[in-house]
A and B are shown apart, each in its own frame.
Chain A
Amino acid sequence: MKIKIYHIIKILKFGWKNIYLHKLRSSLTILGIVFGVASVIAMLSIGEGASYEAREKIKQLGSNNIIIRSFNPPSPVKTSQTTSFIGIYGLKFEDFQQIKTIPSIEEIVPTWECREDIWSEKGKTTGRIVATYPSFLNVMNLEIEEGRFFTEIELKNSKNVAVIGYSIKKSLFPLGKVVGKRIKIRNYYFKVIGVVKEKAVSLTGTTFESEDINFDVYIPFTTGRIYFGRYEISNKRGPFWRWERNFVEYHRFIVKVSDTSKILTVASYIEKILSRNHRNKDYEILIPLQLLQQAEHTKRIFNIVLGSIAAISLIVGGIGIMNIMLATVTERTREIGIRRAVGAKRRDIINQFVAESVILSSIGGFIGILLGIVIPHIVSKFSGMTTIITFWSIFLSFTISVAVGITFGIYPAKKAANLDPIEALRYE
């Protein structure tokens, strides 16, 4: 039998007529599909958005990097009710020198950090001072919005220069030029020589690197030593107010590995060196690449779970359609007999009823897509979560809804086609 496009259009037109005749019933029938498709698209877009945030965050850490961080471990001495405490923890010069010798390390950039109030003529904000080396810029993939990063010469001469994060600029110098202006940290003045471009920040608080790097101020390492020394001072409000002073040589080493495939090997060498040098575990090693892989893995599991839920809801929707189609077949038994009497073949009857159920499920799919696009927007608006609607998820869910229409339409259609024409004509 020839199947002409024109013929298909005619079948669809006939189908539409019957569906239109029962508007209320048809709309109730497609609700299952509508919600099924909408939830597929919405859930996938939320999942995609979350994993995008995670990936971006990890990329900021540099996928070829290993980050070693000093970490102040809770010690028994501190938990006692002392009101003041002097301690020592973290990465040491010895570590730096040993790690530097590991092969395949392209660069190792140390930092020393502290939280400080930062003043301009107009106001004040709080940020993180990061004393580091010029190569920090490249290793961390920072981009300069205006001005420049500090140089080796400025480092050597311990210049009072600072490169500020985007948010610092926004709160201290909302309008006008920044480069050349002065900021004050503790009682020292620094000249702003550059501003770093805004970086995406995850609001969903991924566990790694909870700092908002848009609030960073970068200064030459040597300058930091001169003004801030090696002591980290903090006041803690626990059950007892406590003044704490810790000697910290370095807060972070950012290690850039020349080849992605060497990252794990290098990390294990680092772990070996550090565990030898430190009796307490007062450091932690972060491998962004590994986090990235974990994030991908989590996303895959997430998608499978969401996919199954969505598949179930689409099947339920399909059963709804089948139910109605079965009722329709019974209701229209006589019509089927008439059509057979005037020359319709079994095939024609099957086509007609499958067409009707496909039309139902496609309309459901289409409305579901619209709803599935709207929901993530609303979610984004109210929760601040990133949502990403992929073409792929739309395509997939629409295809599935059409397939559901065909699958669940075939049984009722076959039932209709297999009716004996005589019986069908006698049906009251």
Chain B
Amino acid sequence: MNKVIIDLQNIRKIYKLGMVEVEVLKGIDLQIKEGEHISIMGPSGSGKTTLLNIIGCLDKPTSGKYLLKNEKVSEFDDDKLSEIRSKYIGFIFQQFNLIPQLNVIENISLPLYYQGADEKEMREKAIHLAELVGLADRIYHRPSELSGGQQQRVAIARALANDPLIILADEPTGNLDTKTGREIMNLLCKLNEQGKTLLVITHDINIANYSKKIIKLLDGRIVNEN
């Protein structure tokens, strides 16, 4: 079987709001193997996004140990975390999060820019990815000129630009209609079949059923795993 690439051990996250401390994650233990497709479900405010951000090295746990590909990323500093994100992680958000003043290719090639790639390489790869997500004829459009589904495709292409090991999608279909949502999920599943580890947060059981494994989060704890 494939090896474990994400290993969370007793991860806690506490937010301080003035005097009040809110414990959002209350000791998460989770192992994810390379190539897995996992859905994360749970009520709003249960800590799903926080967990995903920690896995994606965008946020740091308050305590606990996080090994990513056997590197102890829970002890990395800001620069090193940026490097990890740049190397291994592709993020997809509910609100697409494209940069409005950049066109489709420029948005897609953004992760490559921060890897120091040269212009020709960036362009070629971005065009290739735009074709892959079915937007070959929209490469000079601005995000505002695209539909929601198209914007999410651009976001997926962007998440793929740095050839990540792991794709983290936070409610990727939350702002889309059912049909478009299904298309997006098919695209993500195809990528998973090609070997990308895929984590998807969702409220929709139909979306969750695309995966073999569903994790349920309740009030900062994993309540079941199957």
Question: Judging by beta carbons under 8 Å apart, are A344 and B59 in contact?
Answer: no
Partner of A338, one of B78, B97, B115, B162: B97
Q: Is the CB of A343 within 8 A of B85?
A: yes
- Decide: B114 and A344 in contact? CB cutoff 8 A: yes
A144 interface residue per 8 A CB criterion: no
Contact A346 B79 (CB under 8 A): yes
Given A334-B97, A335-B99, A346-B79: A340 and B58 interface contact (C-beta under 8 Å): yes
Residues of B within 8 A of A21 (CB): 101
Q: Are B78 and A342 in contact (CB under 8 A)?
A: no
Q: Which residues of chain A in 320-349 are interfacial with respect to chain B, using CB atoms and an 8 Å cutoff?
A: 334-335, 337-348
Task: Give Cα A179–Cα B74 distance, bound, in whole angstroms.
Answer: 99
The answer to the question of B91 belonging to the interface, with a C-beta cut-off of 8 Å to chain A, is yes
Q: A240 near B: Cβ within 8 Å?
A: no
A105 adjacent to chain B (CB < 8 Å): no
B4 to chain A, nearest CB (A): 24
* Residue in A closest to B113 when the chains form the complex, CB atoms: A10
Q: Which 7 A-B pairs have the closest CB atoms?
A: A343-B86, A343-B114, A342-B111, A345-B82, A344-B114, A343-B85, A338-B97
**Is B131's beta carbon under 8 Å from chain A?**
no
- A346 CB contacts on chain B under 8 angstroms: 78-79, 82
Whether the pair B101, A343 counts as a contact (CB closer than 8 A) is no
Q: Which residues of B contact A (CB under 8 A)?
A: 53, 56, 58-59, 78-79, 82-83, 85-87, 91, 93, 97-102, 110-111, 113-116, 118-119, 158, 162
* In the complex, chain B residues whose CB is within 8 Å of the CB of A340: 58, 82
10 A–B contacts from the bound complex (CB under 8 Å): A10-B113, A335-B100, A338-B99, A340-B58, A342-B86, A343-B115, A345-B83, A346-B82, A422-B58, A425-B58
Residues of A within 8 A of B59 (CB): 421-422
Query: How many residues of A are counted as interface, with CB atoms below 8 angstroms from the partner's CB atoms?
Result: 25
Name which residue of chain A comes closest to B84, CB basis.
Answer: A343
> In whole angstroms, what is the CA distance A348 to B86 when docked?
13
Other than the given A343-B115, A425-B58, 4 more pairs (CB < 8 A) read A10-B119, A342-B158, A343-B114, A345-B83
Q: In the complex where A21-B101, A422-B58 touch, is A342 in contact with B91 (Cβ < 8 A)?
A: yes
Indicate whether A186 reaches chain B with its CB closer than 8 angstroms: no
Q: In the complex the two chains form, is B58's CB within 8 Å of A341's CB? A: yes
Q: Which of B56, B79, B98, B158 lies in contact with A345, CB distance below 8 A?
A: B79
Q: Considering the chains assembled together, what is the distance between the CA atoms of A37 and B111 in angstroms? A: 39
In the complex, the chain A residue whose C-beta lies closest to that of B155 is A338
Q: How far is the CB of B43 from chain A (nearest CB, A)?
A: 19
Q: What is the distance, in angstroms, from B152's C-beta to the closest C-beta of chain A?
A: 14
CB-CB contacts below 8 Å: A1-18 with B: 2, 4, 6-7, 10, 17-18
Inter-subunit contact B99/A343 (CB<8 Å): no
Residue of A nearest to B80 (CB): A345
Inter-chain contact B91/A341, CB cutoff 8 Å: yes
- Which residues of the partner chain A approach B102 to less than 8 Å between Cβ atoms? 17
A344: chain B residues within 8 A (beta carbon): 82, 114
A228 to B158, CA, bound (A): 100
Which residue on chain A has the smallest CB distance to residue B82? A345
In the bound complex, residues from chain A placing their C-beta under 8 Å from that of B101 are: 17-18, 21
State the CA gap A342–B112 with chains docked (Å).
9
Q: Which residues of A contact B86 (CB under 8 A)?
A: 342-343
